[in-house]
Amino acid sequence: MKEIKHQFSFPHPPAVVWEYLTDAELLAQWLMPNDIKPVVGHRFQFKTKPRINFGFDGTVYCEVLEVVPNEKLVYTWKGGMSKEKPLLDTIVVWTLTPTAEGTILQLEHKGFKGLKNYLPYFIMNKGWAKIGKRLFKKMSAV
Amino acid sequence: MATQTYDVFQVIADPSRRQMLQLLSEDSLTINALASSFDMSRPAVSKHVKILHSAGFISIQDIGRERYCILNHDGFAEVQEWIDYFDAFWKSKLKKLEALLNEKTGSHKL
């Protein structure tokens, strides 16, 4: 399994659910502090608990890829020890479907790749040994 | 020789071991075949193989009379860990959203 999928039904029209996905304050009430805007190309961040021993400093870097008001929202979801070298490079897709009772909200979180996908990068990158050591030091310090 | 544990990054930091992983990502090889690709002694190759094995990057299997090194996906289990982490994360966050929206319904009826 390389992706996550969840579906929830809400007794509210899509427009209401949409607000909770795209308004920074409403989104922060249930997800995490953020500076989202439903504008394609907008870059924003979420702040969460770091998982240092896992190579994650707690900041999620996002960029809005697709906006269809009240229907669909897509953004990147990247994280790691820095913005430049994300260990986690994934995509979050929200889909809203109106029903007689309200809305079905579907979340897909996909694009998880393993170390294996980074092997060519490791092999090509001569600076890796240095990066690896630095990362190791950082992780050991915690 | 004292046994030493290496973390994933130390394992990959060594150029010979990276090259071994690359070769093994193309095909499983016997230790002899692997050794023939490197300009180092057979014991030196065996030592790297042992390190790769202990870190979970490869498994070693006897097939017929030969001992094969096979790229092991357990070394890459961290992906599953990320997925499990975010799976639980989203589940709990969406429950929170549900509670918030229900609260909203309670206070102002649609």
For B36-51, the pLDDT digits (tens) are 999 999 999 999 999 9
Note whether B40 contacts A: Cβ–Cβ < 8 A.
no
DSSP symbol at A126? T
For residues B61 and B35, membership in a common domain is answered with: yes
For residues B21 and B60, membership in a common domain is answered with: yes
Number of cross-chain residue pairs from A and B with Cβ atoms under 8 Å apart: 93
Measure the CA–CA gap between B81 and A3, rounded to whole angstroms.
12
What pLDDT does residue B105 have? 67
B2 belongs to a structural domain: no
B64: CATH: 1.10.10.10
Measure the CA–CA gap between A60 and B78, rounded to whole angstroms.
18
Please give the tally of structural domains in chain B: 2
For residues B45 and B99, membership in a common domain is answered with: no
B30 belongs to a structural domain: yes
For residues B51 and B71, membership in a common domain is answered with: yes
For residues B88 and B54, membership in a common domain is answered with: no
For A17-75, the pLDDT digits (tens) are 999 999 999 999 999 999 999 999 999 999 988 876 666 788 999 999 999 999 999 99
B65 belongs to a structural domain: yes
B3 belongs to a structural domain: no
For testing the chain A interface, which of B94, B95, B100, B109 should be mutated: the one with the most A CBs within 10 Å? Answer: B94
Give the list of residues 6+ apart from residue B13 with CB closer than 8 angstroms, or none: A128, A129, A132, A133
Contact assessment for residue A130 and residue A41, using Cβ atoms and an 8 Å cutoff: no
B1 belongs to a structural domain: no
For residues B83 and B57, membership in a common domain is answered with: no
Domain hosting residue B24, numbered range: 8-75
For residues B84 and B37, membership in a common domain is answered with: no
Whether the complex's predicted ipTM is more than 0.85 is answered with: no
B36 belongs to a structural domain: yes
Q: Does the beta-carbon distance from A109 to B90 stay under 8 Å?
A: yes
Contact assessment for residue A71 and residue A56, using Cβ atoms and an 8 Å cutoff: no
What pLDDT does residue A79 have? 84
Count of positions (residues) in chain A: 142
User: pLDDT band for position B18 (50/70/90)?
Assistant: confident
Domains, chain A, in order of start with CATH, read: 4-113 (3.30.530.20)
For residues B70 and B83, membership in a common domain is answered with: no
DSSP symbol at A53? G
Give the list of residues 6+ apart from residue A118 with CB closer than 8 angstroms, or none: none
Phi, psi of B100 (to 5 degrees): -60, -45
Q: What percent of chain A has pLDDT over 90?
A: 53
Arithmetic mean of pLDDT, A120-131: 46
For residues B22 and B58, membership in a common domain is answered with: yes
User: pLDDT band for position B77 (50/70/90)?
Assistant: low
Q: Measured between beta carbons, which residues in chain B are less than 8 angstroms from residue A6?
A: 90-91, 94
B43 belongs to a structural domain: yes
For residues B49 and B103, membership in a common domain is answered with: no
For residues B44 and B95, membership in a common domain is answered with: no
Tell me the one-letter amino acid at A130: K
For residues B68 and B91, membership in a common domain is answered with: no
